[in-house]
Structure 1
Amino acid sequence: MDNKITYIFSHFEQFYDIRLSDYNISYGKNTNAKIYITQSELVNIFKINQDIDTSKIIFKTWLNKNIPFVLDYNDNDIFTETNNQIKINFDIIGAAFYLLSGWDEFISKKTDNLGRHTYKNSIQSKLKIIDIPVVNYYYDILKTAIEKAYNIKINYRLKKPVLCLTHDIDNCQTAWAEAGMYELKKGHFFKVTKLILKRFFTKDDWFNFDKILEIEKQFGAKSSFYFLPQKGKTNNDFKNADYNIKSKKIQQAMLDIQKSGSEVGIHSAFNTHLSIDNFKKDLQKFKEKPLGGRFHFLMYNNPKTVTVLEKNDIKYDSTLGYSEHIGFRNSTAFPFYIYNLQNDKPSQVLEIPLNIMDATLYYKKYMQLEKSQILEKVNELLNETIKFNGILTLLWHNNFFSDYKYKGWKNIYIDILKSAKQKNFDLKNIKIIYNNLFKSF
């Protein structure tokens, strides 16, 4: 357990202005420590590669939220206080590791037809905690115990919460065809004509990077644009980009994005998440090596993908979110270094989890919310993130800024940014977050 304990303590220190080694804290060893954290017998699951029985998990209230202690089956008070000691009666360290590492995905063999772990089979779904960053609540328990035991105030390293803005660029040249067909089926013949004329006499309606940058400029925001290095369909008939990343048009767009202060990253092609060499080929199509990005179709394998990223010296990833549901896939509102469960040690790849995706809200096979419901659901996640000065990530594809097929979705994006600003969020791209907060770790 030593690597796992160090991993969790280090993660705690990345977000709180404190060194835990300066305080008398023991996890499962020194029962006389000033702060003693109980170690559950269930930590043995990490040795024998088993999972927990979710039907037996204990829930308790903390910060007015009912949260699960995923490695505890026996009820108790959260704290026991005496003159000389504060005892935390639940295994918040082992539980934090379970959720942060994606242990349930590592153990589970259940995937969809693309080999992805699904929300339906996740512990977040089983316990109905997808909208709660449970790990942050565990950390707040530890923070509170230290503050009580030593009569101190522990501050967050981040001065305010952050909303990371990202855009996956799957298609930017086929609005005239895809959106045109959609409008044709609706009987909007004038719109179809307009789309075709725009494509061939000016630019395709989805080639709208300047429009996105202008919207974000109004909010003082910077975002991340993730470009797909491979064009066309795969052998399995899955679509990659509708553009050539090396074309002069795309190269100029990428340059304009960078000049604006926004980031260009990699949206690596279908199935490259399993191949060190194929991912490397995608990287080589960029003039300047990206700091990080996100895999196409949110493809990710625990533990294979982290090795692909490490071997290619990628600094961060932002793939870990569920297509089917917005929320906290690894139950945290903090970025974290991916734990390599195969090698039993932390990787050097920072995960900035994906929390909210436009497609999740739009498509019938996912949540398909009414437009009037979206801001309320997003605000719930913003409010959870505020509690911990955390970091939330939003993905809005460039085609969702178009008034054809996706009419109204540009305004939803603007409303989200307005709401985040009103709640005192910084609006930044992931590169800024990595360089300012994590480069020194």
Structure 2
Amino acid sequence: MKFTTKVDEFVAHNGPKITYSKTPLASEFFIRSHDLLFDQGINDIDINILKWEDIPCFFPAGEASSIPFDIFAAGFYLMSRYEEYLPHVQDFHERFPAEESIAFKNGFLEQPVIDIWAFKFLEVLKEKFPNYEYTKKSFEQISTIDVDTAFTFKHKGIVRTFGGFLKDIVNFRFVRFWNRLMSILNIRQDPYNTFSEILSLKKEHNVKTLFFFLLGDYTTFDKNISATNYKFQSLIKSVGDYAKIGMHPSYFSYKNLEKIKKEKLRLENIVNTPIVLSRQHYLRLSIPETYQYLIDLDIEEDYTMGYAEKVGFRASTCTPFYFYDLDYEIQTPLKLFPFAFMDYTLNEHQKFSLEQSLAKILELKQTVKNVNGVFVSLMHNEALSETGIWIGWKNIYKKMLAK
């Protein structure tokens, strides 16, 4: 494939060719371009959602165009997160909420419309160029595990442990008091210590599994074990022997380069290898600042692209892509992996039953399979603990991997 802006070079070419412009040159495959990809800066763009057969689309291209929409400009608008650069209402955690997105407002948040457009585009191309050989994608599944709290009861220090016992007594949580005591005395395994089982399932189903460890200082929103705790460090090292490890920058890091740098160095000192994977804690993401910080710190892949309170595809795709920085008008080396759902979204925010949660997960997975995309799930180690609100979720995780 070759791109050219020279008319004589284009006309002289004898093979399949496409023009992306306002007017065609001859009878070639022609896509009438929207102005977006030729603009500089960020502008308030009027978007009218229409339908390409049964799929939402925008930026109509007119009758002369070989396809009815400029899917390149539309895809760029969604994948660059253009709308997140524009003024918008933030949620309690200063995040861009799903409800503010064009995808949610127009009912296509749970559809990777960019991938669907690509398949429609491919069908039209095959009609025009039937002898051309096309590269095929294949479906992939990636299980990602956020470790916000490695242990429920153990290794939290004297003050936090004593406070936990005291809260159990004051609130008459005697079963929890007993479980806490049994775990601390090593009579019973800590409920959140589900790592061996996750790794066993990884091996059984041959599923790529990534772990993101939170190593921030203790705050109201960051309550993991101390990064200096020997047992915690041993856990991270042991998990790293069997799966890839990433960082989970803390709650207040998303606009603070020094915090992210500090936490990255902590993790690298534990595993003795460069850390190149990341996902923001609480999915706090300020575009483009957070991504610019990650790029500065040589992070290669980020897994934050998704919403906390809604399932679906924040960038309207289930295919990893490189972040395009609208501030500098450049494609960056940071690859973004959109996730389809988070366990807390279904269990806590949407209050789904076990049956509803599994059905929604499998529905999203099938949606990704239909376009040969990458199905990225976001779970937490406690989701397999079979305690509290997570009773039954171990079976959901197993069925998700197996289907």
Deviation at 1:48, TM superposition (A): 5.2
CA contact under 8 A between 2:347 and 2:357: conserved in structure 1?
no
Q: Give aligned pairs, total.
A: 378
| Aligned-residue identity in percent | 25
**Structure 1 range deviating more: 336-345 or 249-258:** 249-258
Is structure 2 residue 276 aligned with structure 1 residue 284?
no
CA contact under 8 A between 2:41 and 2:327: conserved in structure 1?
no
Q: 1:168 aligns with which of 146, 149, 166?
A: 146
**Alignment correspondent of 2:392:** 408
CA distance in 2, matches of 1:37, 1:152: 21
What SS is found at the alignment partner of 2:99? coil
Deviation at 1:199, TM superposition (A): 2.8
Q: Structure 2 matches for 1:5-84, cutoff 5 A?
A: 23-29=16-22, 31=24, 32=26, 34-40=28-34, 47=41, 49-53=43-47, 56-61=48-53, 66-72=54-60
Q: TM-score, normalised by structure 2?
A: 0.85
CA contact under 8 A between 1:183 and 1:404: conserved in structure 2?
no
CA contact under 8 A between 1:166 and 1:224: conserved in structure 2?
yes
Q: TM-score, normalised by structure 1?
A: 0.78
**Alignment correspondent of 2:282:** 297
CA distance in 2, matches of 1:307, 1:99: 19
Q: Structure 2 matches for 1:121-160, cutoff 5 A?
A: 121-152=100-131, 154-158=133-137, 160=138
**Alignment correspondent of 1:250:** 232
CA distance in 2, matches of 1:125, 1:136: 17
**Alignment correspondent of 1:83:** none
User: Which amino acid is 1:215 matched to?
Assistant: L
User: Which amino acid is 1:337 matched to?
Assistant: Y
**Alignment correspondent of 2:69:** 90
Deviations 1:64-95 (A, max 9, x none): xx2222223x8x67xx7xxxxx7123111110
**Alignment correspondent of 2:211:** 225
Deviation at 1:181, TM superposition (A): 10
Deviation at 1:186, TM superposition (A): 11
**Alignment correspondent of 2:9:** none
Deviation at 1:400, TM superposition (A): 1.0
**Alignment correspondent of 1:16:** none
**Alignment correspondent of 2:331:** 346
**Structure 1 range deviating more: 184-193 or 384-393:** 184-193
Structure 1 residues 139 and 209, CA gap change in structure 2 (3 angstroms): same
Deviations 1:333-388 (A, max 9, x none): 1001011011111111000012111000111xx21211111122112211221122
Deviations 1:81-140 (A, max 9, x none): xxxxx7123111110101111111111322112221001111111111011111112212
Deviation at 1:281, TM superposition (A): 1.0
Is structure 2 residue 401 aligned with structure 1 residue 417?
yes
CA contact under 8 A between 1:35 and 1:88: conserved in structure 2?
no
What RMSD in Å do the two structures reach over aligned CA positions? 2.9
User: Which amino acid is 1:338 matched to?
Assistant: F
CA distance in 2, matches of 1:181, 1:408: 29
Structure 1 residues 333 and 217, CA gap change in structure 2 (3 angstroms): same
Q: 2:303 aligns with which of 310, 318, 322?
A: 318
Structure whose CA Rg is larger: 2
Deviations 1:385-419 (A, max 9, x none): 11221101111101111122121111111111122
Is structure 2 residue 216 aligned with structure 1 residue 240?
no
CA distance in 1, matches of 2:135, 2:56: 24
User: Which amino acid is 2:249 matched to?
Assistant: S
CA distance in 2, matches of 1:128, 1:204: 42
